[in-house]
Amino acid sequence: MSSPAGSVAIGTTFAVILSLSFCHLLNDLMQSLVPALYPILKSSYGLSFSQVGLITLAFQFTASMLQPVVGLYTDRHPRPYSLTVGIGLTLVGLLLMSRAWTYPAILLAATLIGMGSAIFHPEASRVARMAAGGRYGLAQSLFQVGGNIGSTSGPLLAAFVVVPHGQSSIAWFSAAALIAIFVLLQVGSWYAHRTPARPGPRTPAAAVVSATAPRKSTLPRRKVVQAVVILVALLFSKNVYSASLSSYYTFYLIDRFHLSIQTAQFHLVAFLVGIVMGTIAGGAVGDRVGRKPVMWFSILGALPFAVVLPYANLFWTGILAVLIAMIMASAFSAILVYAQELLPGRVGLAAGMFYGFSFGLGGLGAAALGKLADLTSITTVYRVCPFLLLLGLLTAFLPRRPGAPSMKAA
């Protein structure tokens, strides 16, 4: 029978995980307002598809470049209150975006929001793992689902708030940032009491090692590097195609089916709901059947639906987009957990690399796809992108069990 102290500890750690999930929801809700604003910015400032893609690049590539650096640094030097700093940068970016009067100001605002994301994600992932009590998969899934719900809610709120009231109404969402800052101050206090800032005479050596020092993988370094490169290639194929939907899906629906902006936003919300469902299912299935089968299914399973999408009518376009979202989203948790097993003890680095690469590769893809759309048409983008999913075949070269020696080595 568990002691009262044990019950309190369990309740406290779940409160921390749920608080992080809630703040992840608010963080990603605010960030998802950026692509939801694209149709308004495009018409208000006369932007080309290439310029719209550069906004995504400024936002996502900034997060990509900084997240691995933040993760690597905080693996060695945890910063309990850095989560609050990250949300603070997002708040400044939102306020600037609401008042941006020139294209460079829009790019600066997007960059600040990307910097906030870079600081928030790796350290929040670490705190979720610290509070997991050994149930790391549960903690990670709860944390990730919060972000997915936030990403889904953003365009829906934008359809009812930003589209009718214009660019300046983004400032109203600064209330979400203030709430997140308040909650994260409490989480930071919990974190600070459990992470020694520096070794002291009363700090057990084992506590310092467990908090800061990475363990070594049992795989050879060459195998680890090869596996990480393959995982990045899988993310590239998945996220570039996802960027074609998250950044340009509303334009595609408006151009091909002559929908209103609000109706197209509802279709985008349905696509994002598919991402939430796929993330939850992918984590649960991955725990049962392993990470590699989920990766196989996620990347290659979406290919036939992606090939058919540009030739479908409006009804089937909506259905196919949701199916593609569900199948492809199932890969992210599998890739992240696989990476953490490849890099044991480097939770921040693994989270920073793969959350970061998700943003960065999506941003690079969005910029390239915007240029392709300008040179050809938005429909051409959806005819070309599916073939990137063939990179999923590289899954065959991943080790069967990351973190464990192969049968040959044994």
> Is residue 271 classed as helix, strand or coil in its secondary structure?
helix
pLDDT of residue 225: 87
Residue 133 Ramachandran class (φ > 0 left, ψ -120 to 50 alpha, else beta): left
Residue reference for tokens 């890099």: 343
Query: Does the structural domain 11-193+208-397 have CATH classification 3.40.50.1000?
Result: no
Backbone angles phi, psi at 81, to 5 degrees: -100, 10
- Contact 333/355 with Cβ under 8 angstroms? no
Residues with pLDDT less than 50, the chain: 1-12, 197-214, 404-410
- Contact 94/33 with Cβ under 8 angstroms? yes
Read off the tokens for 362: 């999506």
Q: Which helix (H) or strand (E) holds 317?
A: helix 314-342
pLDDT of residue 92: 93
pLDDT of residue 101: 84
Which alpha helices (H) appear in 193-302, and where do they start and end?
A: 205-212, 221-257, 261-289, 291-301
- Contact 312/169 with Cβ under 8 angstroms? no
Best CA proximity match to 234, nearest among 40, 395, 100: 395
CB-based contacts of 214: which residues, under 8 Å, 6+ apart? 75, 343, 344, 345, 346, 349
> Is residue 127 classed as helix, strand or coil in its secondary structure?
helix
Q: pLDDT of 353-392, one tens digit each? A: 777 766 667 667 777 888 888 999 888 999 998 988 888 8
pLDDT of residue 285: 74
Read off the tokens for 192: 């600070």
What is the dihedral sign for C-alpha 336, 69, 356, 278?
A: positive
The pTM is what? 0.69
Q: Which helix (H) or strand (E) holds 306?
A: helix 303-308
Q: How far apart are CA 248 and CA 380, in angstroms?
A: 12
DSSP line for 74-90: HHHS--TTHHHHHHHHH
Q: How far apart are CA 237 and CA 206, in angstroms?
A: 41
Per-residue three-class SS string for 166-208: CHHHHHHHHHHHHHHHHHHHHHHHHHHCCCCCCCCCCCCHHHH
Best CA proximity match to 154, nearest among 246, 251, 243, 269: 269
Give the torsion through C-alpha atoms of 306, 307, 311, 314, to 10 deg.
-10
pLDDT of residue 344: 76
CB count in 10 Å sphere of residue 390: 12
Q: How far apart are CA 125 and CA 129, in angstroms?
A: 6
pLDDT of residue 91: 92
Q: How far apart are CA 403 and CA 383, in angstroms?
A: 39
pLDDT of residue 303: 92
Read off the tokens for 266: 């509802």
pLDDT of residue 405: 44
Q: How far apart are CA 213 and CA 81, in angstroms?
A: 20
pLDDT of residue 311: 94
Q: How far apart are CA 362 and CA 369, in angstroms?
A: 10
pLDDT of residue 134: 66
